[in-house]
Structure 1
Amino acid sequence: MNTIKKTLVLGASENPDRYSNMAIRRLRAHQHEVLAIGNKEGKVLDVAIQKETEPFEHIDTVTLYLNPRNQQAYYDYIIKLHPKRIIFNPGTENPDLEARANAAGIETMEACTLVLLSTGQY
């Protein structure tokens, strides 16, 4: 098994039909520590979804489930967290944020968190 990666799901939802919800469930099934921020407070399994940003520490991965327009409010927050990597899931690709992250020494990838988990590449 891969090492546990502390992951922030940005754009989290309690709706089981949303990919962010599926990602939280799959990440927990793989024993990863998960933090979640969404536009509504809630809970998925044992993961609380909060509305407010917090200065989390030691984030390995930020996985995005927000369209590029909705990401803008989080640019500075994400860069300040300084995760090892940001995963831009399908529909979240954002050259502007990718360039800012890369300039700050953060790895970026356009990929699907669910696929990475299912293929053991997470």
Structure 2
Amino acid sequence: MKKTLIIGATTNPGRYAYLAAHRLKQYGHPIVQVGLRDGEVAGEPIETQKLPFPDVDTVTLYVGPRNQPEYYDFVISLSPKRVIFNPGTENPDFEELLKQHEIEPLEACTLVMLATGHY
């Protein structure tokens, strides 16, 4: 299973990051979460600090391009295999930076990938 970091985690059940947390756990993927506010989703805490999470395979983004620069160094420091840019988070500058560090950027939807068996 692929340990996944959700950036943009929220306790709001109407947000896709919330749904993704539950769906990832449902499919057996361990998750860690970073958001603006403390809380808990899918039985896992939301961290407000950019912690050095070990063994992250995938990062899935739920923050827009304007708010992503503060996460560039953090994501690269984790050395994930891939970063999923969910709809509305596409960012050519960040995608190019990831490629330079041999991290695969994917413009995709985590929920669709899980539902179709392509995660």
Query: Same fold by TM (over 0.5)?
Result: yes
Q: Helix, strand or coil for the counterpart of 2:49?
A: coil
The equivalent of 1:11 in structure 2 is 8
The 5-angstrom pairing of residues 97-108 of structure 1 reads 97-108=94-105
State the one-letter code of the partner of 2:34. I
Given the two structures, how large is their TM-score scaled by the length of structure 1? 0.96
5+ residue gaps, structure 2, are none
Q: Helix, strand or coil for the counterpart of 2:50?
A: coil
| 1:23 equivalent in alignment to 2:20 | yes
The equivalent of 1:112 in structure 2 is 109
Shift of 1:47: 1.1
Q: For 1:81-107, what per-residue CA distance to the aligned partner results, in whole angstroms no more than 9, with x for missing partners? A: 110000000000000110000000001
For 2:21 and 2:106, how far apart are their aligned partners in 1?
Answer: 18
Q: Percent identity?
A: 51
The equivalent of 1:73 in structure 2 is 70
1:62 to 54, 59, 64: 59
For 1:40 and 1:118, how far apart are their aligned partners in 2?
Answer: 28
Shift of 1:58: 1.2
Q: C-alpha root-mean-square deviation of aligned residues, in Å?
A: 0.5
| 1:121 equivalent in alignment to 2:113 | no
For 2:98 and 2:39, how far apart are their aligned partners in 1?
Answer: 29
Q: Helix, strand or coil for the counterpart of 2:60?
A: strand
| 1:95 equivalent in alignment to 2:92 | yes
Shift of 1:45: 2.0
Given the two structures, how large is their TM-score scaled by the length of structure 2? 0.98
| 1:39 equivalent in alignment to 2:36 | yes
State the one-letter code of the partner of 2:72. Y
5+ residue gaps, structure 1, are none
